Structure 1
Amino acid sequence: MKNLLSLCVAALLTVLMVGSAFADKLTVACDTSFPPFEFKDPETGTHTGFDVQLWDAIAKKIGTEYTLQPMDFNGIIPGLQSNQVDVGIAGITIKPERSKVVDFSDPYYNAGILILVKAGNTSIKDIKDLKGKVVATKLGTTSADFVKTNCGAKEVKLFPNSDAMFMELVAGGADAVMFDSPVIGDYVRKAPKGQVEVVGPLYQGQSYGIAFPKGSALVAKVNAALKELRANGEYRTLYVKWFGSEPK
């Protein structure tokens, strides 16, 4: 009888320990395609990029395991609100309205919004020339809000990922793309020479933060890890690797 009781207790402890281990493994949401922050490596079939590698460095610092969960950008904040995911890192702009429903880390990247057109398009030189035009951007983003409010476009085409909006521009379905500067810059560097060009200045400076469900204990730990990664040079190494310049 004692042996049976001991076996039952041991089994219960094992279940509790396994459950605790799974509870400690975080679900981290990233975008499906937001290069150079996150994208699927065609050679390995896994997601990589600045966000992905930065989070991996943070996870090592705070001593946690995680599962990366790529999803459409507009599903990340609802996923955090419903506690389906524990962390969101996807070039998420820190905005007052978002801060009402999720918590943010300290900023980890400073960006802005740029206009991209097909090379040789002389009819668009800055934002005022987008009036009456068709502008493509990404669904659920700060860029989409900015375009709708400030451009006077005839039509704003919204796409679930950045690849689709760039394809729309190249195919002639949009007169311009207006989106986050690092993603525009990455696309220009990789596009065939003479295909596209950036016009106008940088609009609406903005900062990206890592997002968490309201009240998450992870915020303080992640902020401490970010501070350490900046101090020891790991952040700079990743930044230069993915953006080809010194951190701003």
Structure 2
Amino acid sequence: MKNLKKAALGMAMALAFAGAAHAEGRTISVATDATFMPFEFQQDGKMTGFDVELVEALAKKMGDTVKWTQIDFKGLIPGLIAKRFEMAVSAIYITDARKKVVDFTNTYYPGGLVVLTKKDDTSIAGPADLAGKKVSVQVGTKSVAYMAKNYPDAQLVEVEKNDEMFNLLKIGRVEAAVTGKPAAINYAKLNPEVKVLPKQVTTEEYGMAVRKDLPELTAGLNKALEEVKADGTYDALVKKWFGEVK
């Protein structure tokens, strides 16, 4: 009888462990706003970019596949809370406010907000010069609240998509744009009429957002992230999309 009880207890513990661990061979539902080159964007009708390839590499390490969902950035965190998908990856900054409602993986790339202006504009040398200027920012990103709080005299022009934010600057509808450093640098390389100011507005870290009821997924992603960094996959992706290894 004791042996039967021990066997039953052992089986129960094994089942509990199996339920807590991330099951291999499953499909992970991931949401993104694919308008933020070089992190995620559409090319020839296909989603690509640093985030996209990194997530695919992590899923491969975990023995899983990925199902992508494309939505506006402002809907990513609310979508996780509503359990519309399991994780969101879209150059999302790790913030204390977001950590209250979702979990984050370990940081996977350094970033920060910067100011983008026309190349021949000498009236804006740094964030302090944005007072009275029209500045485009994307709805749902940290730049909106941060600018409103710290630079209240700037005239914020809120848009839904990153490409709108950049285009308003390009056509002269705004005098500056505040966005993530890697994307700003990439845009400036492709559009020599604009420049990224050297003084950063903030220093941030990017993380992959995961539903709070899926701690096993967060743990699996962190383990896979360590593995792709160890085997050179991560450095290869950084070099491919940013031209340098961090």
Q: TM-score, normalised by structure 2?
A: 0.87
Decide whether aligned partners of structure 1 residues 181 and 154 sit closer, same or farther in structure 2, where only a CA change above 3 A counts.
closer
Q: Distance in 1 between matches of 2:72 and 2:138?
A: 10
| AA of the residue aligned to 1:204 | T
Kindly tell me the number of residue pairs found equivalent between the two proteins.
222
Decide whether aligned partners of structure 1 residues 154 and 113 sit closer, same or farther in structure 2, where only a CA change above 3 A counts.
closer
Q: Distance in 2 between matches of 1:88 and 1:199?
A: 29
Q: Is the 8 A contact 1:143 1:178 kept in 2?
A: yes
Output one character per residue of 1:119-155: Cα deviation in whole Å (capped at 9) or x when no partner: 2111111111101111101111112222112223342
Q: Distance in 1 between matches of 2:154 and 2:235?
A: 42
Deviation at 1:80, TM superposition (A): 0.6
Match of 2:101 in 1: 101
Please, what is the CA RMSD of the aligned residues? 1.5
Q: Is the 8 A contact 1:130 1:152 kept in 2?
A: no
Q: Distance in 1 between matches of 2:211 and 2:197?
A: 38
Secondary structure of 1:92's aligned partner: coil
Deviation at 1:66, TM superposition (A): 2.0
Secondary structure of 2:35's aligned partner: coil
**Aligned ranges 1:7-26 → 2 under 5 Å:** 24-26=26-28
**Aligned ranges 1:13-162 → 2 under 5 Å:** 24-41=26-43, 43=44, 45-162=45-162
Secondary structure of 2:144's aligned partner: helix
Which has the larger strand fraction? 1
Match of 1:203 in 2: 201
Q: Distance in 2 between matches of 1:126 and 1:53?
A: 34
The structure 2 residue matched to 1:215, chosen from 213, 230, 237, is: 213
| AA of the residue aligned to 1:113 | L
Secondary structure of 2:70's aligned partner: strand
Deviation at 1:113, TM superposition (A): 1.2
Percent of aligned pairs with the same amino acid: 36
Point out the more displaced range, 208-217 or 179-188: 208-217
